[in-house]
Structure 1
Amino acid sequence: MTLPPRPAEVPGIPPGNVALVVNGGLMRGMRAHDRMLQAGAVFLREVTTAPRYRLWSIADRFPGMLHAPAGGAAIGAELYAVPRAGFAGIVESEPDGLCVGRVLLSDGTAPLGVLAEPRLVEGRTEITAHGGWRAYVLAQGIPQA
């Protein structure tokens, strides 16, 4: 069996840092963004995933994003450079059911990103049509402070 080629890495990430895509509470202006700042993460830019993902609201506290073999959409997110020393702290403080995996972006790169385990989204409200967590919380009036 031949494996598909590995997606391109994100250019411009400083040595000693990990490229990390976040799509929920860790984004700027959201309730858990201070964890990114405490870890020394540096915002690089807003990004959009390739149209291969679906998004759910987990009790309106945070989103759960899954890769969708079919019927996926592009999801808005943010890209950060995170010092390796702070990366583990970010991941360890994520809610149960969130994990880290490769997220394919619209530019063809595939940095690490926050994803959900399938069990987390069972019975939850799908919010893919909003195009991202920020748009969803604004539309629903969900406070983020």
Structure 2
Amino acid sequence: MLSATAMENTVYLAVNGTLMRGLELNQNLQSIGATFVRETSTEAAYQLWSIGDRHPAMLKVSQKGVSVAVEVWAVPVSGISTLLISEPPGLCIGKVKLSDGEEVLGVLGEPFLCEGQREITSWGGWRAYIERSD
């Protein structure tokens, strides 16, 4: 559990792709002193796209959205810009609503990034998509 002082200097960030534990860019979170909080999911209002099978992009939509698997991390406020700069182009930080109603910051994709890419919403998450056996 984080101390009260640590809580004042951190924000919760929902990640849905390569920043997750054990995946390619997780070290970017660890290097700025982020702490894993929990696994959860978003409210059923998001779509997920595979960007060249390298990383996902999650978009909030008004129709045909699903609940996407995410991890929530406590991220030092001072490290947010470092983290964002190291993310692939077209990813950004915005507000994400979790399945329990909590609203946190989260990694989202810009709509242009998804044009011509494979929609993977039906998988419900990046980890499920990359572990598929098709």
The alignment-based identity, stated in percent, is 47
Structure 2: 5+ residue stretches without partners: none
Q: Deviation of residue 18 (structure 1)?
A: 1.0
Structure 1: 5+ residue stretches without partners: 1-11
CA deviation vs aligned residue, 1:25-52 (integer Å, no higher than 9, x gap): 0000110000010010000000100000
Q: Helix, strand or coil: the match of 1:99?
A: strand
Question: Aligned residue for 1:22?
Answer: 15
User: RMSD over aligned Cα, in angstroms?
Assistant: 1.4
Q: Deviation of residue 112 (structure 1)?
A: 0.4
Match of 1:130 among 100, 120, 123: 123
Correspondence 1:1-145 to 2 at 5 A: 14-140=7-133
TM-score, normalization by structure 2: 0.93
CA deviation vs aligned residue, 1:43-66 (integer Å, no higher than 9, x gap): 000010000000000001000100
- Cα distance in 1 for partners of 2:38, 2:47 equals 21
TM-score, normalization by structure 1: 0.86
- Cα distance in 2 for partners of 1:93, 1:68 equals 26
Question: Aligned residue for 1:6?
Answer: none
- Cα distance in 1 for partners of 2:74, 2:126 equals 20
- Cα distance in 2 for partners of 1:89, 1:107 equals 29
Q: Helix, strand or coil: the match of 2:7?
A: coil
Letter of the aligned partner of 1:17 in structure 2? T
Number of residue pairs aligned between Structure 1 and Structure 2: 130
Q: Helix, strand or coil: the match of 2:93?
A: strand
| More displaced stretch, 40-49 vs 83-92 | 83-92
Q: 1:140 to 1:33 in 2, by over 3 A?
A: farther
